[in-house]
Amino acid sequence: MAFFFNVFSRCEKHVSVLSDSLEELPETDEPVWILGKQYDLQAEKSKLLSDISARLWFTYRRKFSPIGGTGPSSDAGWGCMLRCGQMMLAQALICKHLGRDWGWEKHQEQPEEYQRILKCFLDRKDCCYSIHQMAQMGVGEGKSIGEWFGPNTVAQVLKKLALFDEWNSLAVYVSMDNTVVIEDIKKMCHMCPSDLTHDSSSSSYNGLDWNTDCPGQTSGWKPLLLIVPLRLGINQINPIYADAFKECFKMPQSLGALGGKPNSAYYFIGFLGDELIYLDPHTTQTFVDTEENGTVNDQSFHCQQSPPRMKILNLDPSVALGFFCKEEEDFDNWCGLVQKEILKPQSLQMFELVEKHPAHWPPFIPPTKPEVTTTGAEFIESTNNLFELEEDFEILSI
């Protein structure tokens, strides 16, 4: 524990008072792209800055309950990639429940769905995407609690945790070997959890029918969180990928990218010219819990400072792109954009998009909710239970 305390003491960068006004971006005629939306800096600067501040911002926190009961009570110095993963997932949930055009205003009442999304990420062991759940699920990915995660590890952790989130009911697909398989995604998104058993044999999977009447799914399509982990170079990003990487931020399905520099993660949400715009989790704030009325004071969950930028060629080559497809037509549209903008002939392709499951791969088995026994992670049975209990002001325990 002394080790954790010393690390956190060195790495904490305490937040002072956040600025009430966002600083100016440079004067330029170049457009700015933020998560699929284009802005003219000359005419839409205010709208641009409001859009950036509306994104949920998760940073280091301190003084939460010790992870695992005896572990660290702050993630300063090691939890930055976990926080970036939380931000990407939170953006997917915002798009699902409120839409990409939803905006946030300081001290304004927000929709019930917004508060419910925020509660999913509070630093408590009973919140489905808390730092506690992510750190403990990471143990199954070979990461000790307090150890730094890479983009792919965070993607795998989110995929597993989403299986326990019945309210949002996302299908999370993490690509393998730089390859996105259309057939596998469509099969996964057309299936209900009740269609799948814990039997992981290919025969139990291959006999399933696609279900077009899933509870909570009006279209028969389970909303898709698509994460594409990539290695875009050896020690630094290969410049040949820069344009394709930026194209991803133009897609309406964009959730940005996870990445940064060695042992320092950022959540990239857009670009201006050759600079990436990102949200930085490296600020340590105090743990925030629900108030007596059941709401969360959200002022510290929105960055009200100028968004930092970095040259794209300074990016570490290990990244993960994120996309959200609420409906099947969104995914079909994404596939068309990838074919047109990313998979251009005579260019080094950033990743592959294939129609059929590769014959030399093992059979595709959609992820299912496991029986948790000895993993060490603590789970709530469903997010619905959590919110029902909070409404009654009961004490939660696992």
Positions annotated as catalytic residues are 80, 280, 282
Tokens at residue 293, please? 């009325």
Place of tokens 């000790």: 144
Q: Which residues contact 47 (CB under 8 A, 6 or more apart)?
A: 39
Q: Which of 135, 315, 123 has the alpha carbon at shortest distance from 233?
A: 315
Contact 237, 313 (CB under 8 A): yes
Q: Which two tokens stand for residue 143?
A: 């990461």
Task: Judge whether 57 and 302 are in contact, CB under 8 Å.
Answer: yes
* Cα separation, 250 vs 229, whole angstroms: 18
Give CA–CA dist 215/250, Å, rounded: 32
CA distance 87 to 84: 5
Contact 130, 386 (CB under 8 A): no
Tell me 103's DSSP state.
Answer: -
| Structural tokens at position 392 | 């009654």
Q: For residues 184 and 188, give the distance between their C-alpha atoms in angstroms, rounded to a whole number.
A: 6
Helices 182-189, 328-337: inter-axial angle, 10-degree rounding? 170
Q: What is the DSSP letter of 355?
A: S
Which ranges of the chain does DSSP label H, i.e. alpha helix?
2-11, 41-54, 80-97, 112-119, 131-138, 151-162, 182-189, 202-206, 242-250, 328-337, 383-391
